[in-house]
Amino acid sequence: MRGSADNQTVRERQPGGDLAKGESKGEQTRRTIVSRALSLVSEVGWEGLSIGVLAEEVKLSKSGLFAHFKSKEALQLGVVQEVINRITLNVVQPALAAPRGEPRLRVLFEKELEWIRGEAGLRGCPLQKAALEYHNRLGHPVRERVVHAFQDWRELVARCAKTAIGEGHFRDDLDPEQFAYEFDGITMMYQQRQGLMRDRDAADHAQRAFESLLNRSRRSPRAR
């Protein structure tokens, strides 16, 4: 993801927690604001995020909150970046620590489903929710940042698929972009079935769809 590439180190953070080493009071306050804003976005959506409500939640005046974020859009962008950082830490980095090829894609898929199921206080993937809210808001800064994030994610999945070809796990004529498209389709449907429809079998269906994708992508044993 843009701003969170494969080799970027994401600083471990404790939203709303104790002062991190070397962190100023202002940085801690900003982190607390973003963390609480993310929780509110999970509850009321991105456009439902209210500066007044958030200021009350974090015990600041509106002017005090605006000292850290000059506008609602700036706050929303800060929250988007926090989401990207958490995805990098909880999904991307564990996958990149796995062996190259199919094993890495398996971890990426597993961690993506875990992310969609949600951290404590979150309900589904906030970026997918932003995609629904802003898909027709051409030029809106939040939309543009989310588009870039999804492009970076799709490139990561495609790159992992291409690596699986190089490792001899996938067939040579596999289209990595098509693999990434189907990978994302499975996870997006999982969010809908698991989050919106409360389908208790959503994870099983997603796993079966992923196994089908892998089976269709693998190199024939005779070609190895």
In sequence order, what DSSP letters do the residues of 189-217 get, joined into one string?
HHHIIIIIS--TTHHHHHHHHHHHHHHHH
Domain assignment present for residue 65? The answer is yes
Higher confidence at residue 25 or residue 20? 25
Q: Give the mean pLDDT of the chain.
A: 89
Q: Model-level pTM?
A: 0.86
Domain assignment present for residue 6? The answer is no
Domain assignment present for residue 17? The answer is no
pLDDT of 109 above 60 = yes
Residues of the domain holding 119: 25-223
Write 128-131 long-range contacts (CB < 8 A, 24+).
128/188, 128/191, 129/41, 129/45, 129/46, 130/46, 130/80
The pLDDT value given to residue 221:
77
pLDDT of 8 above 60 = no
SS3 for 151?
Answer: helix
pLDDT of 223 above 90 = no
Domain assignment present for residue 187? The answer is yes
Domain assignment present for residue 87? The answer is yes
Q: What is the CATH number of the domain that holds 179?
A: 1.10.357.10
Give the count of domains, the chain. Answer: 1
Domain assignment present for residue 11? The answer is no
pLDDT-derived band at 119, boundaries 50, 70, 90: low
Domain assignment present for residue 19? The answer is no
Stretch 107-119: mean pLDDT: 92
Stretch 95-119: mean pLDDT: 95
pLDDT of 197 above 80 = yes
The model's pLDDT over 139-191, given as tens digits with 9 standing for 90+, comes to 999 999 999 999 999 999 999 999 999 999 999 999 999 999 999 999 999 99
SS3 for 218?
Answer: strand
Q: How far is 95 from 128, CA to CA, in rounded Å?
A: 20
